[in-house]
Every structure is written in C-alpha cells, then in structure tokens.
Amino acid sequence: MGGLESFKPAPVDAEQGEERVVLDDTSIHRALMRIAHEIVESNADLKLLYLVAIPNGGVPLARRLAQNLESLTGNAPRLGILDTTLYRDDLATRGTRPRLRRTEMPSSVDQSLVILVEDVVSTGRTIRAAMDALMDFGRPQSVQVVALVDRGHRELPIKIDYVGKNIPTQPGESVVFRSEPQDESSDEALEVVVQSLAGSDSGLNPSQGVGELA
C-alpha cells in the first residue's frame, strides 16, 4: 500500500515513441514567476489567496508558486491539495476505477480567492470536477485557474486565467509533466515533454491525455 506519498506516476516507456522537451526546469521556473506576478496584479486582497493543487502534477507547481508569491508579497498563501477522482464524470463508463490520490485541505475555502493549479489542461473536465469538489469545502469568493500547459481541445466552457505555455497538439501526441523526485524537496527537476506515441493512430483521446488524467 504505502503511505500517502506512495503514488508515483506510471513510468513512461520512452521506447514507445518520440519525445521532445517543450519546457525545461528553467523555463518552468520563469513561467511560474511570471504567473505569480500576474496573480498579484489581478487580486486585491492577497491574504485571501488559497492555492489548491490538483494532484499529482499540480502539487510541485503549487508549491513553487506559493514560494514565488511569498517572495513577492511577504505572505505565504494557504496551500491545499484536492483530488478530483471521486468527482470525475467518466466513472460510469470505465472498466476500472482509477486509483485515488491524496486530498489535504488545511481549512475551509469560504471567502477565499482560490487558485486551482494544474499541470496540463486540455478538455477542461478535470477543472470542472475540481470546482465541484471545491464547493464541498465551502463557498469561495472566486475561483481562478493556473495551467502550466494549455494544449487546447476544450470540451467544456472552462477559461484558464494563467497559462504557462500554450502547446497545441496533434492527435496521437500527448503532453506529460514530470517532477522528480516528487517529495518535500524543493530541488525537484521539472519538465514538460510532448510524446508522439508510436503507431497509435487511435492514440489517447483528448480526455485521456496522460498528463491530465492518467
């Protein structure tokens, strides 16, 4: 079983297809600093900020974003982790139920300015699930979304407020965010790669993009 930290992203079989790095650690750092600035500009009462990471990818991103915000404002924002699995809209049509991830919400979101943090956004379904989940933790004053990567293919009317990079993808391509090691260390190396899966015409359909749902 392992404890709360035991979940590890499924290893990617590199030999399955081509893979190119589209964001390395340095550019991710830069993007997160820019996003921190944008958040500060857009929100009046920064004490109400509540970063809510969607695991797994959102967790290291939110942590860095929180550090950036603290260095800009002198205040560390509240930081929570919210698993959206139990709120997914595709549970009834899947052959197996996905493994759960951790949820750690240190306080209610009542009156907060919630910033959802996700690594890769595509269809918008995870963000929809996250908003439903959020409402079970109170009534936020507003909800905004950070995505390190927006790869398009939206299926729901979801707007991303802060985007690290737009990466339009072709069918058969997927966008994967990696953070190694994924623990309390702040020295983890972050990167985003685009994989073109070998021989997969059918590929992953957009709603099953590895970065977002696997």
Partner 1 sequence: MIGQDLLGIESLDRERIELILETAEKMQEIGTRDVKKVPTLRGRTVVNLFFEPSTRTQTSFEIAGKRLAADVVNFSVSSSSLSKAESLLDTAKTLDAMDPDAVIVRHKVAGVPQRIADVLDAPVINAGDGAHEHPTQALLDMLTVYQEKGRIEGLSVAIIGDIAHSRVARSNIYGFTRLGAEVRVAGPPTMLPPQVDVLGVKAYTSLREALDGVDVVMALRIQNERLGGGIFPSVREYSSTFGLDRAKLRFARPDAIVMHPGPVNRGVELSHDLADHRPSVILDQVRNGVALRMALLYLIAGRDFPQDQE
Q: Which is nearer to partner 1, 68 or 84 (CB)?
A: 84
Q: Which is nearer to partner 1, 166 or 205 (CB)?
A: 205
Q: Which is nearer to partner 1, 132 or 191 (CB)?
A: 132
Closest CA to 115 of 180, 185, 32: 32
What are phi and psi for residue 179, nearest 5 degrees? -140, 120
Q: Which residues bind partner 1 (CB under 8 A)?
A: 1-4, 6, 83, 86-87, 91-97, 99-104, 108, 132-133, 136-138
Record the tokens describing residue 199, joined without a space.
């021989």
Q: Tell me the C-alpha distance between 182 and 175, whole Å.
A: 18
Q: Which is nearer to partner 1, 83 or 212 (CB)?
A: 83
Q: Tell me the C-alpha distance between 70 and 64, whole Å.
A: 10
Question: What region, left, alpha or beta, does residue 136 occupy, with left being phi > 0 and alpha being psi -120 to 50 degrees?
Answer: alpha
CB of 100 to partner 1, least distance (A): 4
